[in-house]
Amino acid sequence: MILPIISIVLALAKGLIPMLTASNAPAEIIADAQSAVDLFTKVHGTIVTKAQVDSLLIDPKW
């Protein structure tokens, strides 16, 4: 059940990046899409480790 969903979403997200690039979208939007793909890949590992969790934390900018 989960694997087909993951595959579809990853394919959609990956397909979104060249589409955004081709339409001259702002770099930060493309970066967001790329980071979403990266994040998704990180999040769905099988074993939870501290390094993995720490890599998901974000820092405040104000």
- Residue 19 lies near another protein (rule: CB under 8 A): no
Residue 21 to residue 43: CA distance in whole angstroms: 25
We find the least distance from the C-beta atom of residue 16 to another protein, in angstroms, to be: 7
Cβ contacts of 44 within 8 Å, gap of 6 or more: 6
Residue 55 to residue 43: CA distance in whole angstroms: 10
- Residue 60 lies near another protein (rule: CB under 8 A): yes
- What residue ranges bind another protein (CB under 8 A)? 1-2, 5-6, 9, 12-13, 16, 25, 28-29, 32-33, 35-37, 39-40, 42-44, 47-54, 56-62
